[in-house]
Structure 1
Amino acid sequence: MNRTKWLITGCSSGFGRAIAEGALAAGQHVIATARDVRSIADLERAGSCEVMALDITDADQVREVIGAAGELDVIVNNAGYGLVGAVEECSDEQIRRNVETNFFGPLNVIRAALPGLRAQKSGHIVNISAAAAISNYAGFGIYGGAKAALELMSESLRLELASLGIKVSLVQPGPFRTDFIARGLEKAGTQIDDYQASAGKFGRFLDSMNGKQPGDPAKAAAAIVKMVLEGEAPLHLPLGKYVVKKFRDKAAALTREAEKWEAVAAGTEFGV
């Protein structure tokens, strides 16, 4: 098995740490990053691992870290956090900060890494998405919207880089037993009574399932590492039974809508 160099964002906990540990266990070289390097200092003792401070929303710092990292084989854009609340309840600052982290942050990393990846004509960009980007929930409009933007950008990026030997994959996890709900989920600053039966209900549901999620982060990380090391590069890698069902339900819903509105759609063209 070839030894590759990975750069992984958001390694302080959750999927980021699990993927870093999984790659290290597989004998890979890992550059683990986090806003606060104290939270990942122990990873340096886990094998061939370097730790670097990185705020993915700081484009200048991203370029510095990518430059210092040298030649990279795998980029894992994992850093991010949730925002739960109705679209009207979230403040302007909360919305901008969430989109900056979940969309513009990964974009900063990708754009900084691309010159090196193009020069070596190889590499694999792995973007961690969310089930909310397949079909969204009341109360996840901003977070799901940012992840959906990441997904559609990744689809285009995959086509742009295919002839250059660079792979792009989206990982879409369902509910996994990380600290996403406890530590990685911001709540809207305002609560409006009219949304308590929709966005409010969803927020309460998330609170109730904390610690009970069926997904095992270590197994998810192992699946991601295996995918990369075996040279596989699916556009979408669903993780968990819930996401596979969500894929099928969304496909069926789209098919039903296409069939219902097919005649209307065809009637909008010239010559009909």
Structure 2
Amino acid sequence: MSPNALIPSHRKPRRPSASSRALRAGVTGGFLTLAVTGATVPANAAEKPVSETQEMPTITTALATSAARSADTAEQVAFNYERQALQDSAFSHAAKAAEKHKAEAVKKAKAEAKKKAEKARKAEEAAEARASRSSERSTLSAPSSSTATGSTATLVSFLKAQLGKAYVLGSSGPSSYDCSGLTQAAFSQIGIDLPRVSQDQSTQGTQVGLDNLQVGDILYWGSAGSAYHVGVYIGDGKFIGAQNSSTGIVERPLDYDMPTGAVRVL
């Protein structure tokens, strides 16, 4: 051992160079620490610690989480606003489209109703016109219904009174008749004037079907306007007519000599 080993040294500690500086940074205990080492100080300044520490708050985990949540919230709010705007726009378009379709449907319904009303009006006018024509024909060609029964009975009574008389071509009675002469004489008894010949008598009044005959209808053989024979329907499927020179004036069933058609003047 050296004899100077136990002698305390009186040498002052070495001071750092005035020009040397060191910046040290680190996170200690949750704070940002800046340490400046070897700062130049005046010779008469009091001794300071080797390092000076300035502590600054750092971004903690809770603060970072809060900031992230705020960002998420802001993004969600923006998304909600955008979604609501899109929904409002869609609803607006849908409402406008529905209103347009409704207006078109109402317009179409009105047009259809007008068309139907016009069709019904025309049908009603046509029915009234037919009824008017029928009424006019009835007024011109036949007496009233209350008189028709009596007139028909008079007509049939006259025809039956002529049964058995001779058929003579061109004769109009009272002792003999041809077919059209007999019908002309019979209808004159009830105040109806008929043309003299069969062709003209077959176009008088209204044409009727053989399945809808009434007493007093004029039957004709041949075609309307060119008939060659006539007779009078007296009911029960029978007629009276001046048939020919062999038979004279007779009463016969329809199937004895089925007529071609019939006209109604009563």
User: For the superposition of Structure 1 and Structure 2, which TM-score range results when normalised by the shorter chain?
Assistant: under 0.3
Task: Tell me the TM-score normalised to structure 2 length.
Answer: 0.20
Relative contact order: is structure 1 or structure 2 higher (C-alpha 8 Å, sep ≥ 6)?
1
Relative to its length, the structure with more helix (as a share) is: 1
Larger radius of gyration: 2
Task: Tell me the TM-score normalised to structure 1 length.
Answer: 0.20
